[in-house]
Amino acid sequence: MAVIHFTLWLFDLVGLTDVKQADISGIIDGRFLANCRDDQVRSAKTSWATTSPIAAKPFDAVVFLVVDFRQSLAPKIGGSRPGPSDDALGNTYQGSPTGGLAEVYWDKCLNLSEVCTSIFHEAAHLKSGEGAAMHDAAGVRALAKKGAKAVHPSWADLEFFTAAIKRKITLRTTVPS
């Protein structure tokens, strides 16, 4: 059984201040990742991607924070851009041979709590490899379809994510161009 030190890498394509980045890391680390540890997952933390490529490990996850859905990176990997009527605060695109893509739309989120929950939610899609089925897992709140409104995760959310951390995935270590 491998010991895992998990990093949730955040690519800031919005241009956030250091203070906003610190606030987001504090919320994600304290509210979510601090509770995603067990005998195998020894540590879990966020890290902001400041250079490219990042030194991500196979158990890590990468989420791109973009200004809005019109700047979605999905078309750059063969996915489709979400439409203006789509109420999702983020999306995850699976199945690309060069790695999945998780992104959160800054302008659709009302506050930092929604940003952080959306980052956690999209990272869970990416790490678990599950699409809409994740939304129906028993007891989930932050991972439910309208999960960004959940200020605090349920134990089911945290257990789901902890299990997903143990899944190796192909990661994007650079911004798709």
List, as one string, the DSSP characters of 101-117: EEEEEGGG-SSHHHHHH
pLDDT at 26 over 90: yes
Query: Would you say the pTM of this structure is higher than 0.85?
Result: yes
User: What's the rounded mean pLDDT across residues 15-36?
Assistant: 97
- Domain ranges for the chain: 4-165
Greater confidence (127 vs 152) lies with 127
Q: If you ran DSSP here, which 8-state letter would residue 22 be given? A: H
Check residue 120 and give its pLDDT: 97
Query: Degrees (nearest 5) of the Cα angle 62, 44, 141?
Result: 80
Strand order in the sheet with 101-105: 41-49, 4-12, 61-66, 101-105, 90-93
Banded pLDDT at 27 (limits 50, 70, 90): very high
Fold of 4-165: Collagenase (Catalytic Domain) (3.40.390)
Tens digits of residue pLDDT in 58-78: 999 999 999 999 999 999 998
CB atoms within 10 A of CB 24: 20
Q: Can you tell me the distance from the alpha carbon of 77 to that of 96, in angstroms, rounded to the nearest whole number?
A: 7
Q: Can you tell me the distance from the alpha carbon of 139 to that of 159, in angstroms, rounded to the nearest whole number?
A: 10
Please say whether the dihedral angle defined by the alpha carbons of residues 127, 89, 142 and 62, taken in this order, is positive or negative.
Answer: positive
- Residue 52 — φ and ψ, nearest 5°? -135, 130
Tens digits of residue pLDDT in 76-103: 998 877 776 678 899 999 988 888 999 9
